[in-house]
Amino acid sequence: MKITIARALLPVIALSLAACGGDRTGNEAAEAGAKEETRAGSPGVVALTQQQIADAGIEVTRPTVGGVAGAIEISAAVEGDPQGAQVVSAAIGGRIVSLTRNLGQPVGRGDPLAIIESREAAALRAEIEAAQARSALAQSNLRREQRLFAERVSPEQDLVSARTAATEAGIALRLARQQLSATGGGGGALNRIAVRSPISGQVIARSATLGQTVAADAELFRVADLRKATIAMSLVPADAGRVRPGARVEVTAPGRRQEARVTFVSPVLDETTRLVPVIATVDNAGGTWRVGETVNASILVPASGDRTVAVPSAAVQMIGDRPHVFVRIGPGFQARPVTLGRTNGGVVTVAAGLAGDERIASTNSFILKAELGKSSASDED
């Protein structure tokens, strides 16, 4: 960036105007130029035109005043949605004869993951067939007793007994069917049952092997719905008191940034760490976050309602041994020393040095610092 300060040209312009007649307008222009030259040449001032400011990408904003919203910076861990992960186990023991899903593959709710061959499955199907036969016989006896009772041949007691037997047979049939359904059913043969996924998601673990004999309740798969992830954090009680459900959380990792929302702030402290567990939920439909990884979390907390003045951290530059903020003035920017307070998530409070109504360079202020250094070196020469 080239910064032009017309320090040498102003006397020449004034002499030229005097030689041409030295009228009143020329004198006023020269005096105004001299004043501008004095301002631009003041210590800590970098002279820039509006076009140069735009070309340098320097944004000019006002400080934030009155209850600055802060942020709580903390390390966090990505966890799966507790309601979005399921262990898939064998309902009955047997031998695995087919595996239909592998690690990472998507599954829908009710999709078969494995087929188990089992004598118990054969017994359950046989029980269903026997219950069907008993139910059919009981229904037939009931219809016969209803006809005989209508013809006044059979007493009412026989009709009541037949109705009761038919009801019990129906209950036994439904129970047998439910027992088979609880095992998965649908194995394609009398002695086979299917192990089905209880939720839609993705296979994240598989301990089953083809031909393996497994016991009842043995874990075969783990299925997780990874479209949502949770950000697990632990806060000291003082910070946790400033966080409410619904608060915004900026989750960052190398090359990634996403916003989450606080869904849970524990009312009790963890017995081991003596910290307050806080949970945030983040959309993970794109697979941005992996369960188990460590990320940085910035919990945005509400404003306090005071008259605190704050500026972006990028607006502060160290000149010498003091922090400075570049304030916009007529010919460019003036470096103003400030006293800093607490830094919260890219925003730093200013304890002294700014009133809050100034216009400051909020981005690329390092360019102004570099130009100020050049100007100082040139003056010394």
pLDDT tens digits for 87-127?
A: 888 888 888 888 988 888 888 888 888 888 888 777 888 88
Confidence category of residue 188, pLDDT binned at 50, 70, 90: low
* β-pairing verdict for 248-253 and 213-214: unpaired
Q: What is the pLDDT of residue 24?
A: 40
Each as own residue / partner, the long-range contacts of residues 101-107 (CB below 8 Å, 24 or more positions apart, any chain) are: 101/197, 101/203, 101/206, 101/221, 102/203, 102/206, 103/203, 103/204, 103/205, 103/206, 104/202, 104/203, 104/204, 105/202, 105/203, 106/200, 106/201, 106/202, 107/197, 107/200, 107/201, 107/202, 107/203, 107/223
- Comparing 97-101, 124-128, 237-241, 374-378, the range with the smallest average pLDDT is 374-378
Q: Is 106 in contact with 202 (CB distance < 8 Å)?
A: yes
Overall pTM surpassing 0.75 (yes/no): no
What per-residue confidence (pLDDT) applies to 54? 84
Crossing angle between the packed helical segments 24-40 and 9-19, to the nearest 10 degrees: 170
Strand order in the sheet with 94-99: 192-196, 112-117, 94-99, 213-214
- Confirm if 243 and 301 have CB atoms less than 8 A apart: yes
pLDDT at 86 (0 to 100):
84
Check: CB of residue 373 under 8 Å from CB of residue 75. no
Instruction: Report the range of poorest mean pLDDT among 32-41, 217-226, 285-294.
Output: 32-41
CA 42 – CA 361 distance, rounded (Å): 18
| DSSP state at residue 305 | -
pLDDT computed for residue 327 by the predictor: 94
Q: If you average pLDDT over residues 149-158, what whole number do you get?
A: 87
**Average pLDDT of 71-96?**
84
The tokens describing 289, both together, are: 């976050």
The pLDDT of residue 379 is above 80: no
Q: Is the distance from CB of 73 to CB of 364 less than 8 angstroms? A: no
